[in-house]
Structures are given as structure tokens and as C-alpha cells.
């Protein structure tokens, strides 16, 4: 059963599946297909061509540096490496005719059993006390892996998400250290797309949202994994369909 409601000015689809209700933000309209901005976004080179499902993903972290493989190999035997992920947000992007719509979401906070860097707290606003009762990564790994499936992942500056996921899956024993559980060819990078669509412009998610006329006001105070995944999904759809707004607009 699916019900569409209006919450805070935004439309949400509530899908009841097996007794579990998932709130699913959706596009109110699908932009018209426009000519591609750059050759690499042409129909013959779109990695999403022929795909019916993509997953936008964003991750918030402790702000600490990932240890190198050399550091890990030199660590005392039995020493458990600290966690890095503290929040994960995922959002389905489902093909609908010639366009795309947002569907189910999955999110979780994660207790990293590690300190949070003060600068990271300023960015996402998540404090150590907020993570005390959150599950550890091994407790959410199966659900995350199931939600992602084998579909392509959409991320902004994808290397971060790729490295964080590979590290955590190795840390919990699901893969060997250095293994590419998630490889580069699994990702569609909206930052790389933005450089093709807006040559010479800033590649930040904030700047991209402004150029695409996407409302990012919820991000003014703090970042959030699902919030950023939602914006990344919106940015992908607009660029993929060529709906990039006025070309003569001036931005800082």
C-alpha cells in the first residue's frame, strides 16, 4: 500500500512493506530530457544507461584520518582498528519512463568506538553522546549491503565513500585489508559530472546545488548523511537529464 502525503512542504510516499512503513521522498515532477552538456554524458557513454535502479549514498565520519595499509600491518596483533563511519544515508533512484524518481531510503547512525574530531562535529553536529546507543558497523553491515544490492552508487566525491566502506567492511572481517569490496567502477560521481557540466566551477556539493537551483537550506546548520544523499540524488537527476538551469546565471 502506498500513500502520498505533504510534510513540511515536501511530498513523501509512505510504502508499507511487511508491516514496516518507510517514508520515501519523491520528485513531484520529472524534468524534460535536454541535449547533453558534454560528450561524456552522451547517451553512448552513460554508465547508468540500461539501469533501472541506482543508490545515492553519503557518509559522515569521525573526521579522523584513515590508517594506511602499512600502519595497519605494523599494528600489534589483536589491536582493533578504530571505526570511522558514524552515519550512513542511502536513497534509491528508480527509473521512471525517460526520467528518474526517488524511492526508499535507508539510514543509520554508527557507534565507531572511537573519538570524534572537533572539526567534524562542527560539520555534522553529531556528538559522542548521540552515538552511545547506536549500533556498531558489524550490526548494520548486512542491512546496508542488502539495500545497496549490486546497483551503481551515486556519490559526491565518491573516493571518500568508497574508502570509508572498504575500510569498515575490512575492519569487521567481511573483507581483507586493501580489498576493493567497493571499486571505483561501482560509482557515479556527481562531482566529476559537475566539472563536465560546469567547467571551471567549484566542485563542492553546496556550489553544485546552487548552480542547479536546488534548495540546500536544510544543510545550512549541519550536514547529514541522508540529507546529503538526497541532494546528491537531485543533482544527479538534473545533470543526467540536462536540466541544469539558466546557463547565464552568475555564481560566486
| Amino acid 178: pLDDT | 94
Give the C-alpha distances (Å, rounded to integers) separating 11 from 6, 68, 105, 241. Answer: 5, 44, 14, 21
pLDDT at 22 over 60: no
pLDDT in tens, 210-244: 999 999 998 888 999 999 999 999 999 999 998 87
pLDDT tier at 251, thresholds 50, 70, 90:
very low
Residue 231: all three cell numbers together: 541532494
| Amino acid 220: pLDDT | 87
Q: What is the CATH number of domain 51-240?
A: 3.30.420.10
Predicted TM-score (pTM) of the model is 0.80
Q: What are phi and psi of 187, to 5 degrees?
A: -110, 145
pLDDT in tens, 31-87: 333 334 444 454 345 899 899 999 999 999 999 999 999 999 998 988 889 999 999
- Strand ranges (DSSP E) for the chain? 2-7, 10-17, 20-25, 53-61, 85-96, 99-109, 152-155, 187-189
| Mean pLDDT, residues 146-154 | 98
Residue 84 CB-density burial (10 A; 0-12 exposed, 13-18 middle, 19+ buried): buried
Which of 51, 97, 84 is closest to 162 using CA atoms?
84
pLDDT in tens, 98-115: 899 999 999 999 999 999
Under DSSP, is residue 214 helix (H, G, I), strand (E, B) or coil?
coil
Amino acid at each position: 500500500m502506498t500513500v502520498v502525503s505533504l510534510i513540511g512542504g515536501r511530498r513523501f510516499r509512505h510504502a508499507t512493506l511487511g508491516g514496516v512503513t518507510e517514508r520515501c521522498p519523491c520528485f513531484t515532477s520529472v524534468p524534460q530530457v535536454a541535449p547533453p552538456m558534454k560528450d561524456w554524458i552522451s547517451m553512448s557513454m552513460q554508465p547508468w544507461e540500461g539501469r533501472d535502479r541506482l543508490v545515492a549514498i553519503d557518509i559522515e565520519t569521525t573526521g579522523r584520518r584513515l590508517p594506511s595499509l602499512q600502519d595497519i600491518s605494523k599494528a600489534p596483533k589483536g589491536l582493533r582498528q578504530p571505526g570511522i563511519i558514524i552515519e550512513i544515508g542511502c536513497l534509491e533512484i528508480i527509473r521512471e519512463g525517460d526520467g528518474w524518481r526517488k524511492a526508499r531510503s535507508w539510514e543509520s547512525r554508527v557507534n565507531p568506538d572511537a573519538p570524534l574530531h572537533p572539526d567534524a562535529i562542527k560539520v555534522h553536529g553529531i556528538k559522542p553522546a548521540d552515538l552511545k546507543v547506536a549500533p556498531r558497523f558489524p550490526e548494520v553491515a548486512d542491512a546496508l549491503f542488502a539495500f545497496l544490492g549490486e546497483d551503481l552508487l551515486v556519490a559526491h566525491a565518491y573516493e571518500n565513500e568508497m574508502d570509508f566502506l572498504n575500510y569498515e567492511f575490512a575492519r569487521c572481517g567481511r573483507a581483507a585489508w586493501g580489498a576493493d569490496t567497493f571499486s571505483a567502477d561501482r560509482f557515479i560521481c556527481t562531482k566529476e559530472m559537475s566539472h563536465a557540466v560546469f567547467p571551471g566551477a567549484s566542485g563542492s556539493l553546496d556550489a553544485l546545488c546552487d548552480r542547479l537551483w536546488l534548495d540546500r537550506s536544510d544543510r545550512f546548520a549541519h550536514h547529514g548523511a541522508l540529507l546529503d544523499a538526497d541532494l546528491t540524488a537531485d543533482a544527479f537527476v538534473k545533470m543526467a537529464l540536462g536540466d541544469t538551469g539558466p546557463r547565464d546565471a552568475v555564481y560566486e
